[in-house]
Amino acid sequence: MMREGDACVALLRSKLHGLVERNRSLEEENKQLRHQVSRLKGQVSSLEGQDSDRKIPWKKLDNSFSGNSYFKEKQFVHNNDSKEAMDLNSTSCYSRQQFSREPLVRSRVPRVPNPPPSPTSSQPVLNARKEGGMAPPPPPPPLPSRLLKSTKAVQRVPDVVELYRLLVRREGKNDAKSGSTGTPIATNSREMIGEIENKSAYVLAIKSDVENQGEFINFLAVEVQNAAYKKIADVEEFVKWLDGELSYLVDERAVLKHFPNWPEKKADTMREAAFTYRDLKNLESEASSFHDDRRVATPMALKRMQSLQDKIEQGIHNTERVRDSASGRYKDLKIPWEWMLDSGIISQLKISSLKLAKEYMNRIVNALKSDPFTNDEELLLQGVRFAFRIHQLAGGFDEGCRKAFQELKMYASKSD
């Protein structure tokens, strides 16, 4: 026991001696750097005396000096030191100078914001209230002429349901849909945030933004508070502009929490509406412009179309699920909400699904024609299931889908 205690004491003494030596070398290096700083300040003062017509405030020169000359001089000192001292002290010295000296965190000039985008309709959305109750909701916006014609052309096809039931009954079993949901790896975000906030340069940069960007942030707060649009596309453009302006800040959340007048709830809700609409619009555009590449193998092509249809149905389901609660919040904050109705983006998604159904059935018919060794029953059942799925979602088929389904039905009758 005594020997173990002596060994521990010796180890601690060795560590203490090493730390003392390291501290001594750091102090020596700090002394040299202070000397170099004093010499450079003297040179700057002499240059200021020679050029009397160009008087520059010392604070600006000190900031410029801290960002450029200081690091060059520090590199010079390090190069003249021994290699052993440089390896031991460069990291510690840099940390002390970078995060402990406040002049190294340069204050940025106040941001001059760009003007917000002009709305397509300048009239604000009013939450009209009648005495004794809420005013009736405004009528939904009319569909574009292209979608209106497509909607009128969609008709129910009873043969789709009949053929689907016939093939499923013949198969003798329903599809067993199985899915595995991976468990995301939990990351300790608190440790990451704590590591960042412990660095004084980060804290000083936030403090600098809070002190210098107040006018800029107050301007944005007023714009967000007064924003009232009739079209969700205008909200999308406004959010894009707002995010671009806020990206100037070192850390948006950390800076804005120091401004109690910042309308966080409305800004976040506008982002939610804009991003949801953008994602659905991208899905609609992808589906409506989809083209089946015949060079791709049939199983891969069918999988692609099924994946896209899964995304569309998930988007529709999510919108319908949150529509009642979200529309109330949007009304209160003067954010358009009519696009969430069945006559809005949901109708456009359903119409776009019809093109996927037509491409899917045509691909299966072509596979049955070109490959005599294809498993007819399996492909037919797959095609009819997909057709039935979209027929129920869209409320029927358009002319293109009806023609494609008749060809598929013809092959099904041959296999009986």
**Residue 358 in domain:** yes
**Residue 184 in domain:** no
**Residue 279 in domain:** no
**Residue 164 in domain:** no
The C-alpha atoms of residue 307 and residue 212 are separated, in whole angstroms, by 49
- At 79-122, the pLDDT tens digits run 444 444 444 344 444 433 443 344 445 667 788 778 888 777 54
Residue range of the domain that includes 311: 301-413
Nearest Cα neighbor of 274 from 232, 308, 330 is 232
Cα maximum dimension of the chain = 103
pLDDT value at position 278? 94
Contact (CB, 8 A) for 266 and 225: yes
Nearest Cα neighbor of 119 from 348, 335, 266, 384 is 335
pLDDT along the chain (416 residues), means of 10: 64 78 82 80 70 46 44 46 44 40 58 80 42 44 51 64 68 50 53 61 89 93 94 94 93 94 95 95 92 91 94 94 92 93 91 93 89 75 91 90 90 72
**Residue 390 in domain:** yes
Report the predicted TM-score, pTM, of the whole model to 2 decimal places.
0.58
**Residue 367 in domain:** yes
Q: Which two tokens stand for residue 351?
A: 């119409």
Q: CB atoms < 10 A from the CB of 70, how many?
A: 20
**Residue 177 in domain:** no
Contacts 24+ apart (CB under 8 A), 192-200: 199/99, 200/99, 200/100
How many domains does the chain divide into? 1
pLDDT value at position 108? 75
What pairing do the DSSP bridges indicate for beta strands 129-130 and 133-134? antiparallel
The owner of tokens 């004491």 is 9
**Residue 233 in domain:** no
Q: CB atoms < 10 A from the CB of 15, how many?
A: 10
Contact (CB, 8 A) for 154 and 396: yes
Mean pLDDT of the chain: 75
